[in-house]
Amino acid sequence: MDYVAIESAAKYACADADVTGRLAGLFEGELREQGLWQLFAEMEMPLIPVLLDMERNGVALNKESLWAMSQTLGERMKELEDQIYDCAGHSFNINSPKQLGSILFEEIKLPGGRRTKSGYSTDAAVLEWLKGTHPVIELLVEYRQLMKLKSTYIDVLPAIINPKTGRVHTSFNQTGTSTGRLSSSDPNLQNIPIRGELGQQVRKAFIASDGFLLLSGDYSQIDLRVMAHLSQDARLLDAFHNDEDIHTATASQVFDVPAAEVTPDMRRVAKTVNFGVIYGMSGYGLEQATTLSREEASGFINTYFEKHSGVKAYIEATKSQARDRGYVETVLGRRRYISEINSSNGQVRAAAERMAINMPVQGTAADIVKLAMIDIKREMDRQGLKAKMILQVHDELVFEVPQEELDLMKGLVAEMMPNALRLSVPLTVEVKTGPNWGELN
């Protein structure tokens, strides 16, 4: 190991005492695996001061709106509790899957479903299955949703605003994943709700401070573009070169109809298939994720691979590489060792194969975003901008930008994100701005 070079890279990248802790993690974890040397000097090391800057910047929060939501939700949840107790005939702890299971499947005698290690499963898929069999089900679904958002976000975030900065500061962990992604904790700002009316409301509480706007740059289908690059699949390359809607294109191929005749339902299935392929999804998995029968689902996956022979070949080659060398790698050489790829246990081996298939895709996307962060921060510093990089959510970068720098920053992000790394297909980025994270245009 070339410690002299590491040291000089460290000096170049960050004259900051703070880095010691992070370096320890990098030396212990990532550097232990080979293949990271190049990445370390060119990417992980220069990324450190960028992450520290983002953590220091933090993000502003509209705590009044969250307090108001907490109030409203608290009242609604009380109503739901009472109605649920009425259905059950007595009170119990709705937050206990154990108690809920015994009430649903033993007292009310609903058709018993899937089992977990310790009893009946009462998760969202089971409740969805039971919908219509008893009025308590929809009450439970709503209660669960409100409980999740209230206890994880709405009540927690306002309480952890830093009194000195008035903002919320996350930790971006550089060494916490096996694919090269970042993770975020205390609080996790990479899983802020976005779906549904309520989710939107929570996201709207992430605001720009006075005189600033939020700017978000979001890679479009970066995982599928990476898959196109890795597999060199003719149809995927073609679709992205022509800037087609990839899910519609896939639907057109799999259902064998002209693109103009693809229905929303067909597109939805194709979208699930497209993502499923990246994860090594089976016919059963597709069946569970859609309304298709098992036979239909398996049929679509077979058709997909017939039409996308490049993807099929890539998946086989990746599994083979994992078996032969013991690891897989991203476009830039980041490695993941797959120790169980030759396991004699079929299930363990299958899980290892899915990890092997997914890591080069997810990891290359992570590398691209990291490079973009470094490029953009360097340019922001060079120009002495007041704009701040504040969040990274895997394929999205969020900035807080003063009004007067908005056009400049839009141009900078739109230029640098797509050009962070040259692939066989173009990388496209959607740049949006707005007063908060839930209202970007």
Residues that bind DNA (CB under 7 A): 93, 95-99, 101, 116-119, 121-127, 144-145, 147-149, 151-152, 156, 173, 176-179, 181, 183-188, 190-196, 199, 272, 275-276, 279-282, 284-286, 288-289, 346-347, 351, 354-355, 358-359, 362, 393-396
Q: How far is the CB of 201 from DNA (least distance, A)?
A: 11
Q: For residues 239 and 248, give the distance between their C-alpha atoms in angstroms, rounded to a whole number.
A: 10
Q: How far is the CB of 143 from DNA (least distance, A)?
A: 9
Q: For residues 283 and 302, give the distance between their C-alpha atoms in angstroms, rounded to a whole number.
A: 9
Closer to DNA by Cβ: residue 148 or 378: 148
Q: What are the C-alpha distances in Å from 355 to residues 145, 175, 292, 400?
A: 30, 18, 26, 35
Q: How far is the CB of 420 from DNA (least distance, A)?
A: 15
Q: How far is the CB of 45 from DNA (least distance, A)?
A: 21
Q: Count of CB atoms within 10 A of residue 60's CB?
A: 22
List of residues 6+ apart from 181 with CB closer than 8 A: 362, 363, 366, 394
Q: For residues 265 and 296, give the distance between their C-alpha atoms in angstroms, rounded to a whole number.
A: 14
Greatest Cα-to-Cα distance within the chain, rounded to the nearest angstrom? 72
> Residue with structure tokens 């899957």?
97
Closer to DNA by Cβ: residue 248 or 358: 358
State the Cα torsion 356-357-362-367 to the nearest 10°.
Answer: 70
Q: How far is the CB of 160 from DNA (least distance, A)?
A: 9
Q: How far is the CB of 283 from DNA (least distance, A)?
A: 7
Closer to DNA by Cβ: residue 46 or 276: 276
Q: How far is the CB of 326 from DNA (least distance, A)?
A: 15
Around 249, how many Cα atoms within 13 Å sit in the side-chain half-sphere? 17
338 SS3 class: coil
Closer to DNA by Cβ: residue 6 or 368: 368
Closer to DNA by Cβ: residue 183 or 232: 183
Closer to DNA by Cβ: residue 181 or 319: 181
Chain centre distance of CA 181: 10
Closer to DNA by Cβ: residue 6 or 48: 48
Closer to DNA by Cβ: residue 285 or 299: 285
Closer to DNA by Cβ: residue 177 or 424: 177
Q: How far is the CB of 202 from DNA (least distance, A)?
A: 8
Asked whether 167 and 58 are in contact (CB, 8 A), the reply is: yes
Closer to DNA by Cβ: residue 174 or 248: 174
Measured distance between the N- and C-terminal CA atoms of the chain, rounded to whole angstroms: 48
Q: For residues 202 and 155, give the distance between their C-alpha atoms in angstroms, rounded to a whole number.
A: 11
- Closest Cα to residue 45, out of 15, 82, 88, 67? 15
Q: How far is the CB of 398 from DNA (least distance, A)?
A: 11
Quote the crossing angle between the two packed helices 346-382 and 222-231, to the nearest 10°: 110
Q: For residues 70 and 168, give the distance between their C-alpha atoms in angstroms, rounded to a whole number.
A: 18
Residue 167 φ/ψ, nearest 5 degrees? -130, 170
Q: How far is the CB of 318 from DNA (least distance, A)?
A: 12
Quote the crossing angle between the two packed helices 346-382 and 45-57, to the nearest 10°: 70
Closer to DNA by Cβ: residue 349 or 402: 349
Burial 387-411 (b: 16+ CB within 10 A, else e): bbbbbbbbbbbbbbbbeebbeebbe
Q: How far is the CB of 17 from DNA (least distance, A)?
A: 24
Q: What are the C-alpha distances in Å from 35 to residues 30, 201, 333, 338, 421?
A: 9, 43, 6, 14, 18
